[in-house]
Amino acid sequence: MKKMRAPIATAIAIAFGLIVLVGYFIPIPSLTLIRSMVISWAVILAAVAAIIGIINLVSVHVRKATNKTNQDRYSVVLLIGFILTLVFGLWLGPADSGYQKAVLAVQVPVEAGLMAVLALALSFASLKLMQFRKGWPGLVFLISTVLFLFLGSGVINGLQGVPFLKDVIAFVNHLPIAGARGILIGIALGSLVTGLRILIGADRPYSG
């Protein structure tokens, strides 16, 4: 049975992929309709997957919270918060301003705090930058970091009136764009190759 599963899944994946791709380039009404339907199914499946993920998360934490040998107390907190949020959300509705404020009151500080710690760690790492990365790559990285921090902070924005510095600053501002373009091209090409591999059956991420 396992041997039969692989080719069927592959066939289905290839078929639907071709339908969506062809329907995107060939505006046939039926094909477009099928394509829209398949995409709708994908969206629904993604939503269901999210729910399954939530259920899985809850079950894991429930298991950790109920484990006698190695009980995880944080799992209990998580479950409590989950339950309360679920209950209040269902009861008040997601549009309720109070509910939203409560959620935001917890959600925003937590995530913002994590981002702040990251900022401090990066600040400390910047202090020991040359200790770990000695040599020309480290020096170049150090110089570029300082330069773009200056440029981004707006400290040298006042120097853009200077003709030479303006051109230099403009040139420097365009350097990230060049890098970004290269990254985007690479991402695009990678995405294209990955899609083609799936369409031809070379990659089968769905077979497990």
Partner 1 sequence: MKMAEIICPMCGKPNPETVETCRFCQARLKPLHIDQNADQNGGTPDWLAALLGSQPEAAPSPQAPMDEPRSIINPPIEEAPLSSPVDETAENEDWLARIRQRTQEEGDAISRFGPEPVVPPEEERQAALAGEDWLKDLQGFSADQPESTPEPPAEPAQEDWLNRLRDQQSTEPEQFPQPAHETPAAEPEQPVDWTAVLRQAAEQAPAEPEPEPTQAIPDWMSAFQPPVEETPTVEPSKATSDVPDWMTPFRDQAQIEQPSEELKVEPAAEMPDWMSSFQPSLEETTPSAFEKTPEVPDWMASVRETGEEIPSANNQPETSESTTLKESVAGTPPEPAIEPIEPSPAAEESLDWMNAFIEAAPEETTTEITPQTNAEAPEWLKSYSEKLMGTVEPNPDAAVPAEETPEWLRSLAAASEVGLPGEETPQQSVPEQPDWLKSFEPAPEVPEKPGGETPDWLKEYEKDYTTEEQQPAEQTAAFSAETPDWLKAYAEESSIEHIPPLQATRPLDFVAGSSLPSGEPEKNAPFEGEVSVPAAPTQPFETSELPDWLSAEADQISGASENNAENIERIEPAQLPAWLQAMRPVEAVPLDAGVPIDDQHVEKAGPLAGLRGVLVGENSAAEYQKPPTFSTKLLVTDRQRLQANLLEEMLANENRPAEIHSERVQSPQLIGRLVTAVVLLCAILAALLIPFTNALPSDMSSPQTPAYRFFQIVNSLPEDAPVLVAVDYDAGLSGELSKASVGVIQNLMMLKARLTLVSTSTSGTILGEELLQDAAVGIPNYSVSASTVNLGYLPSGANSLQELASSPLYSVIGVPQRSNGDWSDPTLAGVQQISDFDLVVVLVDNADTARYWIEQVQPALGDTKLVMVISAQSAAIIQPYEGKQVAAMLSGLPGGMAYSAIAGFTGAPTRYWTAYQIGVAVIIVFILLGVILQGVLDVTNRQKSKNKA
Stretch that binds partner 1, among 5-13, 62-70, 79-87, 105-113 (CB under 8 A): 105-113
Can you say whether the dihedral through the CA atoms of 20, 185, 10, 48 is positive or negative? negative
* Stretch 175-204 residues interacting with partner 1 (CB under 8 A): 176-177, 179-181, 183-184, 187
CA distance 208 to 2: 11
CA distance 118 to 14: 42
The answer for residues whose C-beta is within 8 angstroms of residue 3's C-beta and 6 or more apart is: none
CA distance 162 to 146: 20
Q: Toward partner 1, which CB reaches closer, 7 or 179?
A: 179
Q: Toward partner 1, which CB reaches closer, 129 or 199?
A: 129
Binding residues for partner 1 (CB under 8 A) = 32, 35-36, 39-40, 42-43, 45-47, 50, 94-95, 97, 100, 103-104, 107-108, 110-112, 114-115, 119-124, 126-131, 142, 145-146, 149-150, 152-155, 157-158, 160-161, 176-177, 179-181, 183-184, 187
